[in-house]
Amino acid sequence: MTDTAPQAEPAQAAGPAASVTMPIAKALNSALREAMRADEKVLLMGEDIGPLGGVFRVTDGLHAEFGEHRVLDTPLAESGIIGTAIGLAMRGYRPVVEIQFDGFVYPGFDQIVSQLAKMTARHRGTVSMPVVIRIPYGGHIGAIEHHQESPEAYFAHTAGLRVVSPSTANDAHWMLRQAIESDDPVIFLEPKSKYWSKGEVLVEPAPGMGGTAGMHRAVVAHPGTDVTLIGHGAMVHVLLQAAQIAEREGTSCEVIDLRSLSPIDWETLVDSARRTGRVVVAQEAPGHVSVGSEVAATIAERAFYSLEAPVLRVSGFDAPFPAAQLEDIYLPDADRVLDAVDRALAY
């Protein structure tokens, strides 16, 4: 797919390495850098992404390397950013837009849902929309209102968009590069509470994980036999923690990292559900009409005769994201996941 390896800073020890260790934010940064080096049509747009490097520093150093014509510090107007990104895509550019925080994407919602998502269909395929919209999302950062939301269901519900969310540094790097290489619009949800979590980034995608198809695959993050735990983004880390605790109590949990929320890799999910017979799906987002709802419904439909218990959902409450002091109560933790595991086992 590509012959340029992720760059860590400072450079790693000499000699070819199979992987490089870096935090998620750096993995995203190197993905942007490599994509921009590989294709001069790739340009970045967003608020404060220039000399400042973005409020999370994901675009750090890119303005210096590529200049103001490829790293556009834009006026403070989300609809304007996304609407002009659409026009730039019509002109042959591949804009990668940074939305500063999850709760600030809504001023651009119409441009995403009515324009970006539908433009290719409206043109019967003669116009492509290779636009990536990066959105730092989710809680656990103790911030004020509008800075901790999980808006993925709005986008997953919209035909014409691809919606993905990495949970590891390796996925952050390669999925972003795949999103940029895709000719379709991709909503790229970054688990901001994990920006500084380090991980190995492979110098090339793992076998079978390349291209758009690879971007949309779910993976087994931890194998198990008794209960399947499904989640995406930062929630995957909670599920891994829950699996570890459950293991000590004698329950073997398989953790599946969804990675892609639209489309969803049903084969991997249904295969696991058929093996374990018990499924818990967890997310930070409110549960009502959510990604978790779709996962539960489809697994019930496709793995019905293998299930020993209904698919159980663990989610943020169906209330607005609360003030930061209450976020640990609002957001599902390992205990709430394990409570659902216990309930699944009790059927």
Nearer to other proteins, 69 or 248 (CB): 69
Is 140 a known active-site residue? no
Minimal distance in Å, beta carbon 106 to other proteins? 12
Nearer to other proteins, 54 or 185 (CB): 185
Q: What angle do CA 275, 281, 283 make, to 5 degrees?
A: 155
> For residue 215, how far is the Cα from the chain centroid?
10
Nearer to other proteins, 114 or 225 (CB): 114
* Nearest in space to 307 (alpha carbons), one of 345, 338, 251: 345
For the chain, strand residue ranges (E) read 19-23, 42-46, 71-73, 94-98, 132-137, 162-164, 186-191, 198-202, 219-222, 227-231, 253-257, 260-262, 279-286, 312-316
Q: Interface with other proteins by CB under 8 A: which range of 59-67, 110-118, 224-232, 234-242?
A: 110-118
- In angstroms, the CA 7 to CA 20 distance is 8
- Residue 96 interacting with other proteins (CB under 8 A): no
Instruction: Give start and end residues of each alpha helix (H) in 136-288.
Output: 152-156, 169-181, 211-215, 235-248, 266-276
CB 228 within 8 A of CB 243: no
3-state secondary structure of 49: coil
Binding mask 53-92 for other proteins (x = CB under 8 A): ----------------x--x-xx-x-xx-xxxxxxxxxxx
The number of residues in the chain equals: 347
Contacts (CB under 8 A) with other proteins, residues 305-344: none
Q: Interface with other proteins by CB under 8 A: which range of 47-55, 104-112, 235-243, 285-293?
A: 104-112
**Category of 165 on φ-ψ map: left (φ > 0), alpha (ψ -120 to 50) or beta:** beta
Which of 1, 64, 127, 326 binds other proteins (CB under 8 A)? It is 127
Distance from the first to the final alpha carbon of the chain = 46
Which of the residues 140, 147, 173, 216 is marked catalytic?
Answer: 147
Which of 126, 207, 305, 346 binds other proteins (CB under 8 A)? It is 126
Binding mask 232-271 for other proteins (x = CB under 8 A): -------------------------------x--------
Which of 121, 144, 206, 326 binds other proteins (CB under 8 A)? It is 121
3-state secondary structure of 43: strand
- In angstroms, the CA 313 to CA 245 distance is 19
Nearer to other proteins, 91 or 248 (CB): 91
Contacts (CB under 8 A) with other proteins, residues 171-210: 182-184
Q: What token pair was written down for 77?
A: 């107007």
Nearer to other proteins, 7 or 79 (CB): 79
Which of 10, 11, 13, 124 binds other proteins (CB under 8 A)? It is 124
Contact residues: other proteins, CB under 8 A: 43, 69, 72, 74-75, 77, 79-80, 82-93, 107, 110-111, 114-115, 118, 120-130, 159-160, 162, 182-184, 212, 216, 263
Which positions are catalytic? 147
